[in-house]
Amino acid sequence: MTGALVTAAAGTEATSNPVVYAVMVCAGAAAWLMTGRNGGGQRARLLLAGPGEPAGRGRTFVPPTRWREATEGVRRQLAARLGPAGWCLPAGLLVALLGRSWIPLVAGALAVPAVRGWIGRRSADRLARSREAAAVELCAGVAGELRAGRQPGAAVLAADRAVLERFGEAGAAVLAAARFGGDVAGALREAAALPGAGGLSGAAACWQVAVDGGAGLADGLERVAASLRAGRDQREELRAQLAGPRSTALVLALLPVFGLVLGSAMEADPLEILLHTPAGFACLVAGLALEWAGLAWVARIVRCAEGAGRSRRTAATTGGRPPFAPIGSRST
């Protein structure tokens, strides 16, 4: 029995030695690759490198100047024409490569104008809010200058230039009319035609009443500023109340994307099913249609809520009469 054990141990040692040798060879090869195959040459470059030469292992690849200028020019042109919406194209290309189908690339190209329009509407809404705040600041600032004893034209010129710059060329026209004795009320009416600057029509009415009837302009501008400020506060409160439904709709709209990611993590290959099978493609089209319908429904609900809030606010501020009519009647 002892002889059998010795023979088995010798056989085990004989069979394990090649494995040990293979592991040692692999470890040595890995260390050699990590430290560099040309260690002597690298040490020579480190020792003999001049003061202005890099001490790296080799020269890094630097693209040609013409190629860099061409790619930079193309990038700028795409950014100028497409803007942030241009990212739909590389996103569609990535999904097309992952799903091995041309459908995501076409969908990304079709999504560019839609995303560009959405971004444009968001930018226009931000600009309108900025003009709305500028109208309040302008009326309050001019009223304060009038209370300080300035003449109406000088009060406009003394207002903050940054506030008038938000109205663009219309603000420059208001400044020019105030400086050279022009029709300030007409310039304010033209500025009131801009989105978000409708409150300037009340300032124009107050200015016209003050010029024609000699009434106090400061009182009217203060009332206009107070009315615009109250309307802005109500709109902000309404936006805060609608933030919950909007965020809920956004989360529900993004749930299918998380479902695709989860399916890919589980190796179910959902892109293969959706893009390369008739039943999957039918489900994809139906899902996109339902997604669009849900987003359109939520947007319509939000627009209806904002419209109802705007109607109640107008009725509360005007009392069923034309806007700013009480200001002119009280002034005269």
Residues in the chain predicted with pLDDT less than 50, given as ranges, are 1-20, 23, 32-41, 44, 46-49, 52-58, 315-332
The rounded distance, in Å, linking the Cα atoms of 193 and 128 is: 11
| Residue 237 backbone zone (phi > 0: left; psi -120 to 50: alpha; other: beta) | alpha
Closest CA to 45 of 33, 57, 36: 57
Question: pTM here?
Answer: 0.63
Q: At what angle do helices 278-318 and 217-265 cross, to 10 degrees?
A: 160
Give me 178's structure tokens. Answer: 């105030």
The rounded distance, in Å, linking the Cα atoms of 102 and 276 is: 11
Give me 40's structure tokens. Answer: 């002597």
Q: Which amino acid is at 94?
A: L
The rounded distance, in Å, linking the Cα atoms of 208 and 217 is: 9
Closest CA to 139 of 163, 109, 115: 163
Quickly list DSSP for 42-57: HHHHHHH--TTS--SS
pLDDT for 60 equals 55
Strand, helix or coil for residue 195: coil
Spatial contact of 194 and 170, defined as CB atoms under 8 Å apart = yes
The 10 Å CB-count burial string (b at 16+, else e) for 56-71 is: eeeeeeeeeeeeeeee
In the block, residue with structure tokens 């904002």: 306
pLDDT for 309 equals 58
Closest CA to 286 of 274, 270, 295, 297: 274
Give me 159's structure tokens. Answer: 């207002």
pLDDT for 61 equals 56
pLDDT for 286 equals 92
pLDDT for 310 equals 60
Q: Which amino acid is at 57?
A: R
